[in-house]
Amino acid sequence: MGIWLQGVLSGLSLGSFYTLLGLGFSLIFGVTRAFNLAHGDFILLAGYLAFALWHFWHLPFYWTLPVCMLVLPVAALALRELLRRLPAPFELNSLVVTFGLAIVLQNLFLAFFSADYRLILLPVTVVFELPALSLLVTANQALLLIGSLAATLAVYVFLYWTFVGKALRATIQNRESAALAGIRVDQMQLLAFAVGGVLLGLAGPLMATNMYLHPAGGLEPTLIAIILTMAAGIGRTGSLLWAGWLLGLAESLTALAIGSSWRELVSALVLILILVWRPNVSGEHNIAP
């Protein structure tokens, strides 16, 4: 019983992190309608930056979080400027460009950090324990769970309880109608990329403390973000959280039941089922003027 409870806890913390991965992708996709195939590589960029600050400059890990959350919005806004200049057909060109950008970032990671696996090692401490149920919560799990849920809650409050957030949601839902209602669509696009960049800057260091970083490691976060966005819908934070929890629990319990080598198969099967069940993600065309 205890091992299954531990598996559920691991699944919830992993699923909360998956929600964080999907949030940044969902916001940027909402204003561009372009699948950013470099999404996971931007998360790796933040992870490697945190690792470099921690390993080479001996900066305490918790100080790497605000640094990455300041740097990644700049990278996200640079991506926006790149996407703005793409000619038609926008969707196809954005796939090609972001795929090429992912390859460029992978080679930069390889050049600066080699192909070695990197990990930010935090002290292994137990913050909560129930010996009767063989259940314990480590500092890493607590950091992943609390950090991801706090970011998700902050985005939810921003989107649903603030005037600017509601304007951003309106822009995501229908760009033309939002413009007719007097919303500055260009400013909303800038805001979406900035907020998405902050989320990427948080996700990277959290990833670096729980998963090994390697130059080709951006594919899995990108796939997960696409799966969750397609499952939950664009801008639906609550649905995104439930989808993240379900995927995290499915992967964690699958690894516990039949082995960790089957974990990636679960993500692939979920993506196939979503494509069959929900083949279209509704939305506007592009970010170009």
Q: Is 138 among the domain residues? A: yes
Report the 10 Å Cβ neighbour count for 9: 18
Rounded-to-integer distance, Cα 247 and Cα 228, Å:
8
Query: How many domains does the chain fold into?
Result: 1
Q: Is 283 among the domain residues? A: no
Residue 238 has pLDDT above 90, yes or no: no
Q: Is 286 among the domain residues? A: no
Which amino acid belongs to residue 264?
E
Rounded-to-integer distance, Cα 28 and Cα 26, Å:
6
Per-residue pLDDT reduced to its tens digit, 177-223: 888 888 988 899 999 999 999 999 999 999 999 999 999 999 999 98
Q: How far is CA 239 from CA 38, 278, 279, in A?
A: 24, 14, 17
Q: Once rounded to an integer, what is the mean pLDDT over residues 164-184?
A: 89
Report the 10 Å Cβ neighbour count for 64: 25
**CATH label of the domain that carries residue 54:** 1.10.3470
Q: Once rounded to an integer, what is the mean pLDDT over residues 87-97?
A: 88
Q: Is 284 among the domain residues? A: no
Q: Once rounded to an integer, what is the mean pLDDT over residues 165-170?
A: 92
Contact 24, 196 (CB under 8 A): yes
Q: What pTM was estimated for this model as a whole?
A: 0.91
* Termini Cα distance of the chain: 57
Q: Is 288 among the domain residues? A: no
Task: Name the phi and psi angles at 184, rounded to 5.
Answer: -80, 95
User: What 3-state class would DSSP assign to 135?
Assistant: strand
Peptide bond into 87 cis (omega under 30): no
Residue 59 has pLDDT above 90, yes or no: yes
Token pair 């998360």: residue? 43
Contact 274, 230 (CB under 8 A): yes
Residue predicted with more confidence, 31 or 25: 25
The b-or-e profile of 246-278 (16+ CB within 10 A means b, else e) is: bbbbbbbbbbbeeeeeebeebbeebbeebeeee
Residue predicted with more confidence, 239 or 39: 39
Q: Which two tokens stand for residue 257?
A: 């039941």
**Which pLDDT does position 65 carry in this prediction?**
96
- Res. 3 pLDDT band, cuts 50 70 90: confident
| Nearby residues of 204 by Cβ (< 8 Å), 6 or more positions away | 42, 43, 44, 45, 46, 47, 48, 49, 50, 68, 72
Q: Once rounded to an integer, what is the mean pLDDT over residues 10-22?
A: 93
Q: Is 282 among the domain residues? A: no
Q: Print the domain residue range for 200.
A: 2-277
Q: What's the distance, CA 226 to chain centroid?
A: 9
